[in-house]
Amino acid sequence: MKAVLGLENGRYFFGEGFGAEGVTGGELVFTTQMTGYMEALTDPSYHGQILLFTYPLIGNYGVDTKNFQNPRVWAGGCVLHELCRKPAQNLSLHSFFEEQGLLGISGIDTRHLTISIREQGTVKAALITGSDDWQEAVAIAKKTPDITTQSLIPDVSCREYQHLAGNGPRIAVIDLGIKTNMIKSLSSRGGDLHIFPHNARPDEILACHPRSLFISNGPGDPKQAKETVKTVSELIGQMPVFGICMGNQICGLSLGADCIKMKFGHRGANQPVRHIDGTIAISSQNHGFVVDGDTLPEGCEVTFVNCNDGTVEGFQDRSLDINCVQFHPEAHAGPHDTEKQFFDMMFRRMA
């Protein structure tokens, strides 16, 4: 099947389409992970984006549904160098994309394209499958709204309150596109989870008498989550507050700090982070925005920084009992060191 990837800067790349025929536009981002491609594609944080895999061969073990982070694929499109059409086990990625009406393109020089994004910054793109009309692809890419102008969280958040019973502390969870592994990490420690949509009011959350507040990951620009920021700012100081990824950014904004868009972000399962005690961990990450550490208010302490570029990977405020991380400890990139460190700390705070 013919396919073309067009960029807003006028560049275009021909390849072989897989999945369904169609058109999609979004921010083109790359991830450096070698495995876990289905975890990435089903991560709601990729909503509004076209996902480029830097690892040259994707699909070797097929579609492992047990590791989905959401029941559906949220990435708007998939860009690969080589697609494995006959995996050792499971349904092939090609067949899965066909069944689900998803769009993908293979045969792309992903190394060249990744270097271009790294040097020039993230670009808007359009993927057309079933046609190689590169002019149309470029035109669509140019018209695609910038991710900073889009309100994406309402699409991925739960629509109404949910309760996942546990025998441990009662935790209010604000779902901004929460990953399955986050729920597993909280539930496996006995968390009694009261899950609220992104626009829940403070009084609705307080009505369940939670022991703590947890804010999940999510897509897009955190500044678009105005309702959530307002709610969290009102709840801070009333209970311990914890956040991961978007949750980290929401907490920063709620305290009056600023969040800035990164040149190309951090996405992959091999990002090194340094804790304030000097230890280094390998983390899984997926974010294009970051808390500006210089704008954090007095009382906040940066707890983690990225070893590659020095950006904030976590902060805490002991007096307000806030502890957040930008990376994904539940994703087991270390493989379990940061997961145990963050969630065990969280439950100790509620003891």
Nearest to 283 by CA among 329, 228, 347, 219: 329
Residue 201 corresponds to which tokens in the numbers above?
A: 């009011």
Is residue 97 a contact partner of residue 103, using CB atoms and an 8 Å limit? Answer: yes
Q: Are residues 125 and 157 in the same domain?
A: no
| Range 267-280 average pLDDT | 95
Can you give the residue range of the structural domain that contains 204? 153-349
pLDDT of 101 reads 98
Residue 328 bears catalytic tag? yes
Q: Can you tell me the distance from the alpha carbon of 82 to that of 84, in angstroms, rounded to the nearest whole number?
A: 7
Task: Tell me which of 8, 313, 330, 339 is the catalytic residue.
Answer: 330
Q: Can you tell me the distance from the alpha carbon of 158 to that of 324, in angstroms, rounded to the nearest whole number?
A: 22
Residue 332 bears catalytic tag? no
| Domain end point (choices 144, 166, 189) | 144
Q: Across the chain, what does the average pLDDT equal?
A: 97
Q: Is 125's pLDDT higher than 80?
A: yes
Confidence of residue 334 (pLDDT cuts 50, 70, 90): low
Q: Are residues 157 and 140 in the same domain?
A: no
Q: Is 260's pLDDT higher than 80?
A: yes
| Range 244-251 average pLDDT | 98
Distances (CA, A) of 5 to 41, 263, 293, 330: 18, 21, 36, 33
pLDDT of 267 reads 97
Task: Tell me which of 245, 251, 259, 300 is the catalytic residue.
Answer: 245
Residue 60 corresponds to which tokens in the numbers above?
A: 């070797």
| Domain end point (choices 144, 167, 182) | 144
CATH number for 309:
3.40.50.880
Provide the β-strand partners of residue 103.
19
Confidence of residue 335 (pLDDT cuts 50, 70, 90): low
110-124 confidence digits (pLDDT tens): 999 999 999 999 999
Is residue 85 a contact partner of residue 10, using CB atoms and an 8 Å limit? Answer: no
pLDDT of 88 reads 86
The model's pTM:
0.96
Residue 324 bears catalytic tag? no
| Range 113-136 average pLDDT | 97
| Range 6-26 average pLDDT | 98
Task: Tell me which of 94, 194, 198, 328 is the catalytic residue.
Answer: 328
